[in-house]
Amino acid sequence: MSGKHPRKAWTGALLTVVLSAGALSGSAAQAVDGDVAADGVYSFSAKIDVGGGVRSCSGTLLNNQWMITAASCFTEDPTKFASLPVGAPALKSTATIGRTNLSGTTGEVRQITQLIPRTDRDLVLAKLDTPVYGVSFLHPATTAPTTGEALRGAGYGRTKDTWVTDQLHTASYTAGTVEATGLGIDGTPVCKGDTGGPVLREKNGRPELAAVVTNSWQGGCLGTDPAQTRTGAAASRVDDIRAWLTENTASTLNTWNLQMVTNTSTGLYHGMRNSNGDWTGFGDVEKAAGSVTDVAYAADAAIKGKNYVFAVGGDGHLYEAARRATGGWDAFHDMTTELGAKAGLTRVAVTSTGPGLALVGLAGGRVYHATMSADETWSKWADATAKLGTIADATQLTVSQTSGGNTHVGVVAGGKAYHGLRREDGTWSTWGNVTQFATGIGIVGGMAFAGIGGDLQVILTSTNGINKHGIRATDGSWGDFGSLSTKLGTDTATSVDAAAVAGELQAAIVTTDGKVKHALRHADGKWDAPEQVGNIPGIPATVAVTGSAG
């Protein structure tokens, strides 16, 4: 797609990168002449139109409402990118996101309402007028590219034989010299049509944004002097500006976070995801709160901004720690004195009741229940199986509360899922078979509950990768379970959990190859694209999630 940037040398902040890339002096780099992208691949890519055809560029979706691209896309003279002011674009600008072929109807179209540029490199954050759902994000890398590293790119626009194209293309790059704010890249020719295209790396099967393309020689592109054979390009790094990205996208944050605890091959770790979709690093819980010998299972729940973490140790005892809203930790302590001994404890699940917590445990094939009051005192374990009924061979456990004070308990046994209810008055229902509402799921491997208002949101996973979502309504009726193949993937899960976070359902699974995948269902029923959670130390075995404000 033809841009209208002049063919002259770039100067200023990119000069060092340009010289390191081989005295690069080509015009604005705006598209990649590579392979046609398959439908749905690199759906975080965006086509940007400035001024109704005055210029066309590319961008990358960072979260529901923010993109990153090149500042030069929005200046009449691309060499003057450092002069771009904060605020609305000078010309009406729109972004088409998640549409591999622009002649199609998939993805979303949004107007760009605000620009926040950097002054040390050709980069700008672009705010969208309304959030985008159902399209994957590309999280920024946290480590710098290295010379010789294999990288990938994506963009729309001119190719070696097409002046105007509606198709996203992908590219293969090799990193050249890495400078303080940028790097040189070479490989697939970068052509006119998409300034600001992503340069990404694959890390443990998960793509991450390493840089943003700015300008190139355009060797091999249609309309370029045939004598021009150089294919090098320059790109602005993003790995070193995480704090700037977080600070400048904070206007769209709410106060709620998803908190995640995962037990891996190297320990127990905790991380958080904010409402913009950005993840913190995963910290070592035992380093912060004291060690628990041979953690077998962990669960968490939050009240008043405090995240309580429960771990079943190798000795069969239950231990509790808590992460305070300020970030510090209360140390793990053995809960045997508070709850009573419970031999054979293998699983626990916990949920907020508002002022306190409801805890359930699985021991010796029976379900036990305890509560913590607002003053943090605990009741003793009580045998819930005596009220719910006996189910042989229970292996998985989940719990959540809905409005009105009902506590919902679920177990998986014999390849089927069962639901029970502890009412606000303390009386119990008997077990009901949930699997009958999930036609075609096969053998159930896991189940997770999350209460949103009076509705109970339910995630079911199976041993053949068929994962489903259903709702038990306030009146006790069950709806049909829908497929999660496009929402959570088709991976077979070894662990699953779910949480209500600011009225939205968030779910996570651990796959058989040791990856954590996350999905989010908004209050209007729309789902974000699934994502693989990165930067977790070790190989995850279990996952637990909860929502907290603050």
Q: Kindly report, residue by residue over 245-286, the tens digit of the pLDDT.
A: 999 999 999 999 999 999 999 999 999 999 999 999 999 999
Residues 243, 353: one domain? no
The DSSP line for 63-102 is SSSEEEE-GGGGSSSGGGGGGPPSBS-SS-EEEEES-SBT
Side-chain-facing half-sphere of 224: CA atoms under 13 Å: 27
Residue that terminates a domain, selected from 248, 271, 291: 248
CATH number, position 275: 2.120.10.80
Q: What is the pLDDT of residues 8-20, one digit of tens each?
A: 323 222 222 332 3
Residues 46, 169: one domain? yes
- pLDDT-derived band at 546 (thresholds 50, 70, 90) equals very high
Reduced to 3 states (helix: H, G, I; strand: E, B; else coil), residue 247 is helix
Q: What is the mean pLDDT of residues 168-190?
A: 87
Residues 224, 260: one domain? no
- Which pLDDT does position 232 carry in this prediction? 64
**Residue 5, in any domain of the structure:** no
Residues 110, 228: one domain? yes
Q: Under a CB-based contact definition with an 8 Å cutoff, are residues 259 and 300 in contact?
A: yes
Token pair listed for 18:
């340009």
Residues 224, 272: one domain? no
Residues 213, 263: one domain? no
Token pair listed for 508:
């996570």
Q: Under a CB-based contact definition with an 8 Å cutoff, are residues 310 and 299 in contact?
A: yes
**Residue 436, in any domain of the structure:** yes
Residue that terminates a domain, selected from 248, 283, 300: 248
Structural domains in the chain (count): 2
- Which pLDDT does position 166 carry in this prediction? 76
Residues 101, 186: one domain? yes
**Residue 7, in any domain of the structure:** no
The answer, yes or no, to whether residue 102 has pLDDT greater than 60, is yes
**Residue 430, in any domain of the structure:** yes
Q: What is the mean pLDDT of residues 54-71?
A: 94
**Residue 2, in any domain of the structure:** no
Q: What is the pLDDT of residues 476-528, one digit of tens each?
A: 999 999 999 999 989 999 999 999 999 999 999 999 999 999 999 999 999 99
Q: Under a CB-based contact definition with an 8 Å cutoff, are residues 77 and 67 in contact?
A: no
Residues 406, 307: one domain? yes
**Cα dihedral value 342, 348, 353, 356, nearest 10:** 50
Residue that terminates a domain, selected from 248, 268, 285: 248
User: Which range (187-196, 210-219, 299-308, 319-328) has the least confidence?
Assistant: 187-196
CATH number, position 96: 2.40.10.120
Please provide the average confidence, as pLDDT, over all residues in the chain: 88
The answer, yes or no, to whether residue 293 has pLDDT greater than 80, is yes
- Count of CB atoms situated within 10 Å of the CB of 521: 23
d(CA 43, CA 45): 5
**Which of the listed ranges 96-105, 209-218, 467-476 does the model predict with the highest average pLDDT?**
467-476
- Which pLDDT does position 35 carry in this prediction? 61
- Which pLDDT does position 221 carry in this prediction? 60
d(CA 456, CA 474): 8
Residues 315, 461: one domain? yes
d(CA 141, CA 390): 50
Question: Beta partners for 260?
Answer: 271, 545
Q: What is the pLDDT of residues 29-56, one digit of tens each?
A: 333 445 665 667 799 999 999 999 898 8
**Residue 4, in any domain of the structure:** no
- pLDDT-derived band at 101 (thresholds 50, 70, 90) equals confident
Residues 544, 454: one domain? yes
Its domain, for residue 373, covers: 253-549
The answer, yes or no, to whether residue 164 has pLDDT greater than 80, is no
Question: Beta partners for 258?
Answer: 273, 547
Please provide the distance, in angstroms rounded to a whole number, between the alpha carbons at the two ends of the chain: 45
Q: What is the pLDDT of residues 332-382, one digit of tens each?
A: 999 999 999 999 999 999 999 999 999 999 999 999 999 999 999 999 999
How wide is the angle at C-alpha 518 spanned by C-alphas 514 and 521, nearest 5°? 155
Amino acid symbol at 546: T
